[in-house]
Structure 1
Amino acid sequence: MATKVDGLLFDKDGTLFDFHATWSVWAARIIHDLAGADKDKVVRLAAALDYDLDRQEFAPTSVVIAESSQTLAELIVQVLGHSTVPEVEHFLMMSASEVPQKQTLPLAPFLAELAARGLTLGVMTNDNEYSARAHLKSVGVEGHFDFIAGFDSGHGAKPDPGPLLAFARATDLRPARVAMVGDSTHDLIAGRAAGMQTIGVLTGLATTEELAPHADAILPDISHLPAWLSE
């Protein structure tokens, strides 16, 4: 049963947007773009990212799911042995910002319904803020959020609670009256550390069993939030 909630802080990929439908094909393209014609590097880079080239999908253990794009860039540079972290990070940022997003449900009316309940809404992602805003703008919902932050927004990255507490400060909400909504353990661990309520959703790659130890509730997807809020 939900305690009184005044604000909802959403993860982005795997929560607002379907992770597999959005990112799996993109990943195959960027692996080949980065590795070039070197087949050995293609295989090694895919392995480092826990990405199945034949099935075109990530394993649940992939760093891509929950880590920051800076961490991803550092790993890619280690595997490739050339380029620099800032160069790779910029490439990833620009490439990712243009990827069409598959919404987990029509977001605009859903977010409008939540706002009509008097809820303050935010997004905190371990993606960079530039890409996050580009993705939200591409589906017409950037303006629905009172707070949007990435790992590079100056508040830190999940599972550190810092960026979640920044949302509470920016919107003048008590952390205990905020629910962190996400598809990964990073989201929920950060929420618990921030003193927030934690809601896991199953639109990413994590299972119920993985999320359960860190979640106050687990929902199939964010469309079930209004019912949870009304309990």
Structure 2
Amino acid sequence: MADAADLSHIKGLLFDKDGTLIRYDESWGPVNREAARIAAAGGGVELEERLMNACGMDPATGKTRPDSLFAAGTAAEIAAGFVTAGSPLAVGPLTIELDDLFVRASDFSVPVTDLGGYFGRLKARGFKLGVASSDNERSIRETARRFGFIEHLDFIAGYDSGHGCKPEPGMVLGFCKAVGLEPSQVAMVGDNNHDLHMGAAAGVGLKVAVLTGTGSPATLEAMADHVLGDITGLETLLPQAQTA
């Protein structure tokens, strides 16, 4: 664990979206059920529940397993998981349907905090800010617009933005290039090991896990430098950013 006194070099914050900025179960439970219904293509409740289980969600409790396809996968990866588990649809067309659904998912999203105010405070302190998600870029932008923080972002990357997918380092490196920072000056903030592994692969200076998603201290603390209840803990964890 790093001490706050050691964190004055952190000048950029790269956030995952779902489970990090958005509370996962409340936001994505209804969406995952609808995704399984689409993938089942009229095959009935038993198939829908099989598809949910295959991608990581317990249909009875609505809880999603850490690091499962629902928790960390792209639309294409989830579509492939559905097809492997018995969806009669082809991966390509199903991916398109899921991407469209995930854009509409912001209607169901429950933010962790007042995200407009939160990002505004971080920006005022001098931090460079970005969002890197396994969701598509349209969905990220829609969420950022809806919750009033898009004007504070310096960088947005989805799986379809050309930087590769988690846990590869490309999104972090793209953020660094966009804002003029070294990876060692960046904190990666997420709720899944995919986020932390991406940060480690890129060589970030700080890996922060939050508990508003599918992860738990038991699943996250081995890879994280800090495990926080939610993103608001960053405001006290990090010292004032040094502006150029």
**Normalised TM-score (structure 2):** 0.89
2: CA distance, partners of 1:81 / 1:225: 41
User: What is the aligned partner in structure 1 of residue 164 from structure 2?
Assistant: 156
Find the aligned partners of 2:98 and 2:176 in 1 and give their Cα distance.
29
Q: Letter of the aligned partner of 1:97 in structure 2?
A: V
What residue in structure 2 maps to residue 208 of structure 1? 217
Give the match for residue 30 of structure 1: 35
Q: Which runs of no fewer than 5 residues in structure 1 stay unpaired?
A: none
What's 2:58 paired with? 52
Tell me whether 1:192 sits opposite 2:197 in the alignment. no
Offset at residue 204 of structure 1 (A): 0.8
Structure 2 SS opposite 1:60: coil
Q: Which residue of 2 aligns with 1:130?
A: 138
Cα distance, 1:114 vs. partner? 0.3
> Which residue of structure 1 lines up, in the alignment, with residue 226 of structure 2?
217
Query: SS of the residue aligned with 2:118?
Result: helix
Alignment check: 8 A CA contact 2:131 2:157 kept: yes
Unaligned runs of 5+ in 2: none
Q: CA deviation at 1:37?
A: 4.0
CA distance in 1, matches of 2:98, 2:38: 11
Contact 2:14 2:132 survives alignment (8 Å)? yes
State how far apart, in whole Å, the 1-side matches of 2:48 and 2:103 are. Answer: 23
User: For 1:148 and 1:106, how far apart are their aligned partners in 2?
Assistant: 19
Query: What do the CA deviations read for 1:170-189 (whole angstroms, capped 9, x no partner)?
Result: 11101101100111111111
In 2: Cα distance, 1:129 partner to 1:13 partner: 13
Match of 1:17 among 15, 22, 30: 22
What is the CA–CA distance in structure 2 between the aligned matches of 1:34 and 1:92, rounded to whole Å?
9
Deviation at 1:221, TM superposition (A): 0.5
State the Cα distance separating 1:86 from its structure 2 match: 2.2
Secondary structure of 2:14's aligned partner:
strand
- Corresponding position: 1:228 with 2:237: yes
Aligned position for 1:82: 88
TM value normalised by structure 1: 0.94
Q: Aligned pair 1:67/2:76, yes or no?
A: no
Aligned length: 231
Aligned to 1:123, what secondary structure does the other structure show?
Answer: strand
Q: Deviations over 1:127-156 (max 9, x none)?
A: 111111112112122221110001111111
